[in-house]
Structure 1
Amino acid sequence: MIMIKALKNYPDIELVTMAQGGNEQAIDALVCRYRPFVLRLAKRTLVSDAEDITHDVFVKVLLHLDRFEQRSSFTTWLYRITMNQILKAKQNEKLQHSLEIASEVEDGAVDQELVRGESMLRHYLAGMLLCLDEEQRMVIILSDLFKMDHNAAAEALDISPDNFRKRLSRARKDLRSWTENKCSLVIRGNQCQCNRKAQYFLKQGWVDAATGKFTRERIAEVSDYIQRLLG
């Protein structure tokens, strides 16, 4: 039986093929090789629970390894799983934060006007992000929402830190120009309105008219695009 140390220098494709065949040593070798990468990425994007995220990522890897068809690199596939888990954790953090605020509002511990202001800010931000292309949204989200270090964000997008900063600068410039010259959220009387975009999305079939939410198909399309962008 091949020992893990002997597998240390095996290329990913061979380890994956062996792991898909049930070789436990190959599975252990992949985990040992990529656990530091996943943990480092989780720590850079999350305030806490990086260890839990890392554990969950490799659980997903083991459960779905048979679905990996090797059309992309194992690193790209692993990165997509990692980012999906991080995004889910971020969403859960925001949900928990919202529940805590709601509880405090009921108890009178938080000013309701402050809560309305926070909700309005999220609404404005979501509206403004609609006015950026996918690449620009990603750099804004990683930098300004996830508060990622620029070096870590650049690594996540597989570009140089200098290139990331240039993209971020252009995205912020375009966002500022759009909001000042076209966005009705910022200057009343400007032509671009979120409800107009919603009507366009309805016509395109991207939004369910009954629920007002993006369709599963559209979410899947956007998710696939983001994964390709990140990969």
Structure 2
Amino acid sequence: MDKDLNSIVQKALLGDKKALESVVEEVKDLIYNLSLKMLLFPEDAQDATQEILVRIITHLSTFQGKSTFKTWVYKVATNYLLTEKSKKDRKAKEVSFDEYANQIDTGQSAMIRYTNNEGEIGLLEEEVKVSCTHGLLHCLNPANRLIYVLGDVLDLNSKEAAEILEITPSSFRKQLSRSRERIKNFLTAKCGLVNPNNSCRCKRKIDFLIDSKMIDPHALRFANHTKRSIDMMQKIEFLDKTLSVFRSVPIIGAPNGIMKEVRQTINSITF
């Protein structure tokens, strides 16, 4: 895939607009999923993805091939998410691990009042799981969150991730180890998917999160776009179940609306 993508990139650099659109198609889901994990809300991730794709299009000539194109794309994306987006976006506030633990413990119920429909319950359970997973990432500050996402969620090696973040591989590994330990300790202590001895189950939070308007059953943010990652966890052979909580979530396709603005940008470019 990387060889094919590099070939398309070279055509785009020579002024082929169809190739440029193909480049965008290849990387948009990658950028959207990174943005989603960093920003929590799909609507914010969509806006960020559009901005990042425009930057990639307008700065493509600066790609010199010293790294893989995917690494360069991640570098453009992370720079935007850590600088420009953080200045504009204050919706997804950081919370402490203790505060998040209190949120987990609050409002658990053995019975589901909202619906008896098993299909609907399955969707709502998945919505709780993915929402909770994304929310937990916001217990880390943006820099540490990004390090954890690159290293443990996206499974990039320390050399790749360090190049993206412009730090040393040693520094990346040290920072990843600290973030990994904090996430692991939390999930081991609180998540029933990781430790069956824990009381929390995604189903038990459905009513509370609907009543608190943290989940809208008529406008699900995540469950309509993914396979049930709760089921997929059982099929993933990880020694560390805390990783499967994150990696079991399938890649979510970037919303179709993203390409409309991007195509306008492509058509306006003069080579």
TM-score, structure 1 length as denominator?
0.43
Structure with the higher fraction of residues in helix conformation:
1
TM-score, structure 2 length as denominator?
0.37
Greater gyration radius:
1
